[in-house]
């Protein structure tokens, strides 16, 4: 576990160093190009594109989390109980839609650029979070919710103090899935002219420049793995904490 | 809505609305007010909406409105769920026929450039009644065979509708007509990529899963590596495989003869294969772990060898879980195969990306609609199969 952490920190440091000064790493990519092809991506700053990529993902995932958790809370209350079975199967059906299709179909409504990418990421990000929040809220230990009710907690108190905190690690797992999917889908966003790392990969594919493909792919891949690991660690930490607090309560 | 609510208030004692019905009814009203179809003078100019009244000849407008009002009423009232299902399917069929008729009606004579495509109104109405059907199907909890039967019936209805030529004047089918050969070729490619990757992943993944299950020391390592592969964005993995496969094509004798090259089908298939591996290996391990201890003990007591136990006890019992992994992977690969078009791998993605390039949205739809339909059908079929193999066998 310790070694894993050291490796991850080194990888993160390398990634930041590469983004700030890509020319320093010219030697590593030089063997990949033929003739006088440019070695380092030269149609914009890699750092700027990466930040833009992360911003799009962050905005989309934040919005998706807000709506998905809200909806999941709604359908698990008595008022929205009628929607529960349908929302389950809609979430299932929604997952059969390929991200590219969602992205492409958003273009006629929103035009080219960042907007359709944001919407596609948002819509596609909803499903895992919604599904996990549902799982979290419907699989609570019966004894705990009974105890909360027995203590005379109102519905709102139960939701905020018992149900959501207990479901939180599962919800976070949904956010993690959603973030990783969004990081990947955002690269496809550059086919509709959003400024994301996909731009670097596609520029490489179009000019047959393996070095570009590798740079774009490496940055997205490393980001995805690091963010995935960081969120998993946070989840384990939170699960341990709620587990401990549950034991303390019992 | 106010009328509906007022009425609901008055007669709530015996005619309660269901909440989902109110939502569907609202969507129906919104859909009826929005443009039913969109008329464009040629393939890529901006379109102008045609409302329900303008989009059809007066008789058909009346028929469609009557059907929609009937659908509205059935959606709103608490009627038998089966009735909702049947009415929902019927309204969807009427909508599909009418959007085709609208295209016939709006296409000016001797004008081959004008395009008619379904408008926001059509999509909203379709969405509303699809919601009604989905809700009814969820509530009725049909048996696996019934669900397969319904899927087959819907597929047959769509086939008849397409074959009859009712929809031929719609823009998406005009796009199809000009590239019918390419369409079927890309369809074959798409299926080859998705099913090929899954097939190879099963051949490699199930033995790997058995190996992981039997050798706990390597289990975590293998699953971690596969997990990392899963987080690499597809477009990057496709791109990154180009270089090694180009090298293989150059240096391994015979590799090029069997079609391996840097771009095209080979890297796409390999990338999809890598993505498919994790769910299959992980589900094989979980499935084998969930085999009841008692079954294994009994098998050992009967004097079965390890190999016999694997084939006769463990794999059959783990099969539903492995199949669930295959379902996840198949649906995922059908969607991901669209991205293969970016590296020359073919598939329906070709039309999606061509359409994005030419800002021709009907072309995008020509690629996206079959992909979604295929993924959806695969999900329904495999869900049904999983259910059939999971139910304990009845005594004969």
Instruction: State how far the Cα of B212 lies from the Cα of B388, in Å rounded to an integer.
Output: 27
Mutate: best of A50, A91, A96, partner B, most B CBs <10 A: A96
- Tell me: pLDDT of A145 over 80: yes
Out of A85, A96, A192, the one facing B372 most closely (by C-beta) is A96
Please compute the mean of the pLDDT values over residues A118-142 and round it to a whole number.
88
Number of A–B residue contacts, CB under 8 Å? 138
Domain boundaries, chain A: 43-249
| Cβ contact B233–A97 (<8 Å) | no
Tell me if A70 sits within 8 A of A137, measured CB to CB: no
**Predicted confidence (pLDDT) per residue in B83-114, tens digit:** 999 999 999 999 999 999 998 888 887 767 78
Whether B360 has its CB under 8 Å from any CB of chain A: the answer is no
| Cβ contact B134–A86 (<8 Å) | yes
| Cβ contact B343–A198 (<8 Å) | no
Please compute the mean of the pLDDT values over residues A155-167 and round it to a whole number.
88
Q: Which distant-in-sequence residues (6+ apart) come within 8 Å of A68 by Cβ?
A: A125, A126, A127, A129, A130, A133, A174
Instruction: State how far the Cα of B334 lies from the Cα of B326, in Å rounded to an integer.
Output: 12
| Cβ contact A214–B231 (<8 Å) | no
Whole-number mean pLDDT of chain A? Answer: 85
| CA angle in degrees (0–180, nearest 5) for A163-A165-A170 | 90
Q: Which fold has domain A43-249?
A: MetI-like fold (1.10.3720)
Burial of A120 (C-beta count, 10 Å sphere; 0-12/13-18/19+): buried
Look at residue A250 in the predicted model and tell me its pLDDT: 33
Instruction: State how far the Cα of B191 lies from the Cα of B179, in Å rounded to an integer.
Output: 18
Lowest mean pLDDT among A41-55, B247-261, B264-278, B309-323: B247-261
Distance from CA of B209 to the nearest CA of A (A): 23
Instruction: Find residues 326-355 of chain B whose CB sits inside 8 Å of chain A.
Output: 331, 334-336, 338-339, 342-343, 349, 352-353, 355
Out of A191, A205, A220, the one facing B233 most closely (by C-beta) is A220
Out of B228, B239, B352, the one facing A100 most closely (by C-beta) is B352
Asked whether the ipTM of the predicted complex exceeds the cut of 0.90, the reply is no
A243: confidence class by pLDDT, cuts 50, 70, 90? low
- Tell me: pLDDT of B68 over 90: yes
| Cβ contact B236–A95 (<8 Å) | no
Please compute the mean of the pLDDT values over residues B167-171 and round it to a whole number.
88
| Cβ contact B231–A228 (<8 Å) | yes
Out of B19, B242, B352, the one facing A213 most closely (by C-beta) is B242
> Which has the closest alpha carbon to B24: B94, B101, B79?
B79
> Which has the closest alpha carbon to A138: A91, A180, A183?
A91
Instruction: Find residues 15-34 of chain B whose CB sits inside 8 Å of chain A.
Output: 18-20
Q: Report the range out of A28-42, B115-129, B248-262 with the highest average pLDDT.
A: B115-129
Out of B19, B331, B368, the one facing A105 most closely (by C-beta) is B368
B133: confidence class by pLDDT, cuts 50, 70, 90? very high
b/e B11-20 (16+ beta carbons within 10 angstroms → b): eeeeeebbeb
Task: Specify the DSSP class assigned to residue A160.
Answer: I
| Cβ contact A204–B239 (<8 Å) | yes
Look at residue A156 in the predicted model and tell me its pLDDT: 86
Look at residue B3 in the predicted model and tell me its pLDDT: 42
SS (H, E, C) chain B: CHHHHHHHHHHCCCCCECHHHHHHHHHHHHHHHCCCEEEECCCCCCCEEECHHHHCCHHHHHHHHHHHHHHHHHHHECCCHHHHHHHHHHHHHHHHHHHHHHHHHHCCCCCCCCEEEECHHHHHHHHHHHHHHHHHHHHHCCCHHHHHHHHHHHHHHHHHHHHCCCCCCEHHHHHHHHCHHHHHHHHHHHHHHHHHHHHHHHHHHHHHHHHHHHCHHHHHHHHHHHHHHHHCCHHHHHHHHHHHHHHHHHHCCCCCCCCCCCCCHHHHHHHHHHHHHHHHHHHHHHHHHCCCHHHHHHHHHCCCCHHHHHHHHHHHHHHHHHHHHHHHHHHHHHHHHHHHHHHCCCCCHHHHHHHHHCCCHHHHHHHHHHHHHHHHHHHHHHHHHHHHHHCCCCCC
Q: Which residue of B has its CA nearest to A212?
A: B239
Look at residue B10 in the predicted model and tell me its pLDDT: 41
Lowest mean pLDDT among A174-183, B211-220, B351-360: B351-360
Please compute the mean of the pLDDT values over residues B64-87 and round it to a whole number.
90
Residues of B in contact with A89 (CB under 8 A): 134, 137-138
- Tell me: pLDDT of B11 over 50: no
Structure tokens that stand for A139 in this block:
């699989």
Out of B19, B138, B236, the one facing A217 most closely (by C-beta) is B236
| Cβ contact A224–B335 (<8 Å) | no
Residues of B in contact with A83 (CB under 8 A): 19-20
| Cβ contact A100–B335 (<8 Å) | yes
For chain B, list the domains and their CATH numbers: 2-177 (no CATH), 180-390 (1.10.3720.10)
Distance from CA of A163 to the nearest CA of B (A): 25
**Predicted confidence (pLDDT) per residue in A197-214, tens digit:** 989 988 888 887 888 888
**Predicted confidence (pLDDT) per residue in A23-59, tens digit:** 888 888 887 777 778 888 888 889 999 999 999 999 9
Task: Specify the DSSP class assigned to residue A193.
Answer: T
B21: confidence class by pLDDT, cuts 50, 70, 90? confident
């Amino acid at each position: 576990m310790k070694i894993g952490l050291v490796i991850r920190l080194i990888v993160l440091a390398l990634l930041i160093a590469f983004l700030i000064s890509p020319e320093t790493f010219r030697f590593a990519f030089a063997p990949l190009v033929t003739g006088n092809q440019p070695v380092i991506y030269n149609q914009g700053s890699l750092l700027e594109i990466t930040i833009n990529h992360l911003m799009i993902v962050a905005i989309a995932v934040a919005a998706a989390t807000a709506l998905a958790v809200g909806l999941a809370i709604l359908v698990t209350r008595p008022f929205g109980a009628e929607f529960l079975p349908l929302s389950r199967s809609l979430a299932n059906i929604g997952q059969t839609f390929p991200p590219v299709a969602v992205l492409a179909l958003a273009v006629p409504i929103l035009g080219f650029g960042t907007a359709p990418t944001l919407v596609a990421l948002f819509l596609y990000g909803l499903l895992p979070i919604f599904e996990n929040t549902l799982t979290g809220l419907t699989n609570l230990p019966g004894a705990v919710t009974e105890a909360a009710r027995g203590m005379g907690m109102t519905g709102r108190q139960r939701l905020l103090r018992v149900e959501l905190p207990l479901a939180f690690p599962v919800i976070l797992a949904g956010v993690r899935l959603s973030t990783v999917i969004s990081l990947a889908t955002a690269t496809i966003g550059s086919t509709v002219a959003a400024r994301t790392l996909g731009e670097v990969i596609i520029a490489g594919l179009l000019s047959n420049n393996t070095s570009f493909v590798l740079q774009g792919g490496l940055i997205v891949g490393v980001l995805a793995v690091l963010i995935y690991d960081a969120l998993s660690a946070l989840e384990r930490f939170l699960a341990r904490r709620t587990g401990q607090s549950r034991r303390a309560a019992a | 809505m106010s009328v509906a609510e007022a009425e609901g208030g008055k007669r709530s004692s015996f005619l309660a609305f269901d909440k989902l019905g109110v939502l569907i009814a609202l969507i129906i009203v919104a859909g009826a007010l929005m443009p039913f179809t969109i008329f464009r003078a040629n393939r890529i100019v901006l379109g102008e909406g045609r409302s329900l009244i303008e989009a059809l000849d007066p008789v058909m407008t009346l028929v469609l409105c009557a059907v929609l009002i009937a659908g509205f009423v059935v959606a709103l009232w608490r009627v038998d769920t089966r009735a909702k299902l049947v009415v929902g399917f019927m309204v969807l069929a009427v909508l599909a026929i009418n959007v085709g008729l609208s295209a016939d009606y709006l296409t000016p004579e001797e004008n081959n450039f004008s395009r008619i495509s379904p408008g926001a109104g059509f999509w909203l109405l379709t969405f509303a009644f699809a919601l009604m059907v989905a809700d009814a199907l969820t509530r009725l909890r049909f048996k696996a065979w019934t669900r397969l039967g319904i899927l087959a019936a819907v597929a047959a209805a769509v086939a008849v509708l397409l074959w009859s030529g009712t929809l031929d004047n719609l823009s998406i089918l005009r796009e199809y007509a000009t590239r019918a050969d390419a369409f079927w070729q890309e369809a074959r490619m798409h299926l080859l990529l998705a099913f090929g990757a899954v097939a190879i992943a099963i051949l490699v993944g199930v033995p790997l899963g058995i190996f992981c299950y039997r050798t706990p020391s390597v289990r975590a390592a293998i699953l971690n590596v596969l997990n990392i592969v899963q987080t690499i964005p597809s477009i990057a993995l496709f791109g990154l495989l180009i270089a090694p496969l180009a090298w293989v094509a150059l240096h391994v004798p015979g590799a090029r003869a069997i079609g391996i090259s840097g771009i095209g089908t080979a890297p796409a298939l390999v990338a999809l294969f890598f993505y498919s591996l994790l769910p299959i290996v992980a589900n094989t391990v979980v499935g084998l772990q969930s085999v009841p201890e008692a079954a294994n003990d009994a098998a050992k007591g009967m004097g079965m060898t390890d190999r016999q136990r694997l084939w006769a006890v463990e794999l059959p019992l783990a099969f539903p879980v492995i199949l669930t992994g295959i379902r996840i992977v198949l649906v995922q690969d059908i969607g991901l195969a669209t991205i293969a078009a970016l590296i020359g791998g073919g598939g329906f993605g070709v039309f999606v990306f061509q359409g994005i390039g030419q800002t021709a949205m009907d072309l995008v739809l020509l690629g996206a609609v079959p992909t979604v339909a295929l993924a959806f059908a695969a999900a329904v079929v495999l869900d049904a199969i999983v259910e059939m193999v999971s139910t304990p066998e009845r005594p004969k």
